[in-house]
Chain A
């Protein structure tokens, strides 16, 4: 026994075993997320059940399980869709009640702009005097047309009317500002000019609204009739359809094409239906932008702090106390940082900025409310200990002999720091930054009170001067997960989205980190050879 321990093998088993357990758990988590996250876009077969009482239901199988406390009995959870007809998306069916199940080849899955999926059979195109038969193939040109129309409508709504609203708001604020000044002749002239401008805008606005009404009327023109499984007929405006598929007739390649299209939409599209459908692009954008602003804030803050602590402060009681306190900041619950950010950044600093620079829009706050800048700064505070600790370690790792070499050539302390010590410590600093970025990207609680919203009307970067709007509220993948998974009106339908969003968040963090790592290696090379 003693001899066994002498060989050291048990320690190897112990450490290797622990490592294996950790790896297994991490891999398990990632595999779970991947399987669930990647699976959701794969088109599933549509199954049709005839029940014992003669009822016919149709949909996708979502889950199968045995009924507890009953032997050999099982039930199936069927996604029947047609929420507008049935009231809910899912239905449990006792397998014992199923008389027959078949897979009708012409069954279609309609993805709609509202009310989730619809499953049924295409009956035809509705006309004033009845129904004109329509094949599945005949639907494609109609869809193409409606998509073009949708694009046009979006453009008018978002870009043109958005622009007008933006300029109207500007003018309104300008008027308000002018009203506060002495009504000299010059000012009155200005007021007249602005008012005239507003009137012009108003006219354009009305024109645009007319265009829009026309477009919407055109959108409602074409309607198809869908035959549901229970024999009912449903009228479905073509404009409502985003995508139609006949999964029972699809081959593998067709399915892959469908999958890619869905995935593409998920990454680059905007969310629909209270975030349970569509894409997550605004959330990806918000997350990345927030992390970048946070990095820009946290690196100087952390590095300067660490340089003072390590290089200038003498190693006395106070310095040690400060160091311990900084490290322990990492243990403060993040929601506390959120509250601090709300009180300090938003109410105090943001309120101050509003009073100084945006008095005309008060009481509507500009900076005195949650926004991407304040959220980023709050997270910078939260992650500053990581950067401080990493930088201090990086600085400690720079050998005394290098510093002495620099001093011996007549360099001052600051020259030595800038030219020798900090470049040498840069990999450490960047490692700290990478850790801080990872931490910040996954943090949700403090964001909820400093500027994250469920649905942001516009991105923090757009075409309106000054292009970067740091005061705007933003969307965030972490919050999106919480919102879709727990706050959405249709949780059951949204759960797969939770996995996919998690996957996207993981991937985003990975890409951010890889970028930082590449930057670190480039910098290292640059310092050592003077070229990239």
Chain B
């Protein structure tokens, strides 16, 4: 597997021989991968190949599932995040996540965005207002919702809800943002908005995105990993993967001959 690992500039995440079991079922089979700082890295692959499982390892969200066991290690900024001494909540504040289906809390837009900062203990209204505005601006939503911050977030459209979720993650000022198929429930216009926003976010954050949309991966990401059946088949600079794939399976998949 080592041969598939390429050198990336300024790696922030190192995934080393990561294997994951759901009970007895091996869902990830020895993944080795580095993620570059302040770049967009996308994961593609057929359904059920373990993309979500992998990115949920990066903020230890799989800890919530009782049957999961993990081997190997993941380092962020050189520190093993599965070290027992690590504070999981602290880790999750540094590694934000946006889910496939928009999942805003049934609260106001404002309360959604400042949920994280509140938990960290920020209570001053002025500070919270500022955080909220900044996060919504970064999520390209401010103009649309600034007049109704105190209405229920569930009244927004799907695309707006997803951007609320992104703003909610950004409000925590994380280093890394994980996005699990953030556009799968959205129309092309909303998707385009989110894509523009992600490219914008790249300036400050490391972005890891799972997508089923080949064009999306090609358009916005700097690096792409192709997974199949729990294995990392190929990982490379995006242009390389899409113009000159090394593996036959990758080529078949991106040309739509399978999956």
Tell me the smallest distance from the CB of B220 to a CB of chain A, in Å: 22
Indicate whether A531 sits within 8 Å of B150 (C-beta atoms), given known contacts A405-B105, A406-B105, A409-B93: yes
Inter-chain contact A527/B106, CB cutoff 8 Å? yes
What residues of A have a CB within 8 angstroms of the CB of B91 in the complex? 410
Indicate whether A401 sits within 8 Å of B105 (C-beta atoms), given known contacts A406-B115, A409-B172: no
Residue in A closest to B168 when the chains form the complex, CB atoms: A409
Mask of A397-413 contacts with B, CB within 8 angstroms, 1/0:
00101111111111110
What residues of B have a CB within 8 angstroms of the CB of A410 in the complex? 89-93, 116, 119-120, 172
What residues of A have a CB within 8 angstroms of the CB of B151 in the complex? 529
Other-chain contact of B108, A411, A412, A528 (Cβ < 8 Å) = A528
Mask of B77-113 contacts with A, CB within 8 angstroms, 1/0:
0000000000001111100110101011111101100
Q: Is B66 an interface residue, CB under 8 A from the partner?
A: yes
Q: Is B154 an interface residue, CB under 8 A from the partner?
A: yes
Indicate whether A404 sits within 8 Å of B99 (C-beta atoms), given known contacts A409-B168, A528-B106: yes
Indicate whether A530 sits within 8 Å of B66 (C-beta atoms), given known contacts A408-B92, A410-B116: no
Q: Is B19 an interface residue, CB under 8 A from the partner?
A: no
Q: Is A415 an interface residue, CB under 8 A from the partner?
A: yes
Q: Is B64 an interface residue, CB under 8 A from the partner?
A: yes
What residues of B have a CB within 8 angstroms of the CB of A424 in the complex? 106
A407 to B89, CA, bound (A): 8
Residue in A closest to B106 when the chains form the complex, CB atoms: A528
Other-chain contact of A408, B61, B110, B111 (Cβ < 8 Å) = B61
Measured as residues with beta carbon below 8 angstroms from the partner, the interface class of chain B is 20 to 34
Inter-chain contact A407/B64, CB cutoff 8 Å? yes
What residues of B have a CB within 8 angstroms of the CB of A407 in the complex? 61, 64, 92
User: How many cross-chain pairs have Cβ atoms below 8 Å apart between A and B?
Assistant: 79
Q: Is B152 an interface residue, CB under 8 A from the partner?
A: yes
A402 to B97, CA, bound (A): 13
Measured as residues with beta carbon below 8 angstroms from the partner, the interface class of chain A is 20 to 34
Q: Is B228 an interface residue, CB under 8 A from the partner?
A: no
Other-chain contact of B103, A401, A412, A423 (Cβ < 8 Å) = A401
Residue in A closest to B154 when the chains form the complex, CB atoms: A528
Residue in A closest to B178 when the chains form the complex, CB atoms: A408
Inter-chain contact B89/A405, CB cutoff 8 Å? no
Inter-chain contact B92/A530, CB cutoff 8 Å? no
What residues of A have a CB within 8 angstroms of the CB of B99 in the complex? 401, 404-405, 408
Tell me the smallest distance from the CB of B132 to a CB of chain A, in Å: 13
What residues of B have a CB within 8 angstroms of the CB of A530 in the complex? 107-108, 110-111, 150
**B-contacting residues, A415-431, CB 8 Å:** 415, 419-420, 423-424
Dominant secondary structure at the A interface: helix
Q: Is A314 an interface residue, CB under 8 A from the partner?
A: yes
A147 to B110, CA, bound (A): 63
Q: Is B241 an interface residue, CB under 8 A from the partner?
A: no
What residues of B have a CB within 8 angstroms of the CB of A399 in the complex? 103
Indicate whether A528 sits within 8 Å of B107 (C-beta atoms), given known contacts A410-B90, A410-B116: yes
A492 to B85, CA, bound (A): 79
A259 to B151, CA, bound (A): 50
What residues of B have a CB within 8 angstroms of the CB of A408 in the complex? 59, 61, 92, 96-97, 99, 169
Residue in A closest to B152 when the chains form the complex, CB atoms: A528
Q: Is B40 an interface residue, CB under 8 A from the partner?
A: no
Residue in B closest to A530 when the chains form the complex, CB atoms: B108
Indicate whether A529 sits within 8 Å of B152 (C-beta atoms), given known contacts A409-B92, A410-B89, A410-B119: yes
What residues of A have a CB within 8 angstroms of the CB of B208 in the complex? none
Inter-chain contact B154/A409, CB cutoff 8 Å? no
A424 to B152, CA, bound (A): 14
Residue in B closest to A399 when the chains form the complex, CB atoms: B103
Residue in A closest to B92 when the chains form the complex, CB atoms: A410
A265 to B105, CA, bound (A): 51
A437 to B190, CA, bound (A): 48
Residue in A closest to B98 when the chains form the complex, CB atoms: A408
Q: Is B198 an interface residue, CB under 8 A from the partner?
A: no
Residue in B closest to A315 when the chains form the complex, CB atoms: B66
A406 to B107, CA, bound (A): 13
What residues of A have a CB within 8 angstroms of the CB of B101 in the complex? 401
Q: Is B141 an interface residue, CB under 8 A from the partner?
A: no
**B-contacting residues, A507-532, CB 8 Å:** 527-531
What residues of B have a CB within 8 angstroms of the CB of A527 in the complex? 106-107
Residue in A closest to B105 when the chains form the complex, CB atoms: A420
Tell me the smallest distance from the CB of B183 to a CB of chain A, in Å: 17
Tell me the smallest distance from the CB of A532 to a CB of chain B, in Å: 13
What residues of A have a CB within 8 angstroms of the CB of B105 in the complex? 402, 405-406, 419-420
Tell me the smallest distance from the CB of B67 to a CB of chain A, in Å: 12
A412 to B101, CA, bound (A): 22
What residues of A have a CB within 8 angstroms of the CB of B103 in the complex? 399, 401-402, 404-405
Q: Is B128 an interface residue, CB under 8 A from the partner?
A: no
Inter-chain contact B168/A529, CB cutoff 8 Å? no
What residues of B have a CB within 8 angstroms of the CB of A402 in the complex? 103, 105-106
A403 to B65, CA, bound (A): 12
Tell me the smallest distance from the CB of A531 to a CB of chain B, in Å: 7
A531 to B107, CA, bound (A): 11
Q: Is B28 an interface residue, CB under 8 A from the partner?
A: no
A530 to B128, CA, bound (A): 15
Other-chain contact of A409, B66, B107, B115 (Cβ < 8 Å) = B115
What residues of A have a CB within 8 angstroms of the CB of B61 in the complex? 404, 407-408
A328 to B108, CA, bound (A): 40
A94 to B165, CA, bound (A): 84
Apart from A403-B64, A412-B89, list 9 A-B contacts with CB within 8 A. A314-B66, A404-B99, A405-B103, A405-B165, A409-B119, A410-B93, A411-B89, A419-B115, A528-B107
A-B interface, 4 closest residue pairs, ranked by CB to CB distance from nearest:
A410-B93, A408-B97, A409-B116, A401-B103
Subset of 20 A-B contacts with CB under 8 Å: A402-B103, A403-B64, A404-B61, A405-B103, A405-B104, A408-B96, A409-B168, A410-B89, A410-B90, A410-B116, A410-B119, A410-B172, A411-B115, A412-B89, A529-B150, A529-B151, A529-B152, A530-B107, A530-B111, A530-B150
Chain A positions within 8 Å of B, measured between CB atoms, are 314, 399, 401-412, 415, 419-420, 423-424, 527-531
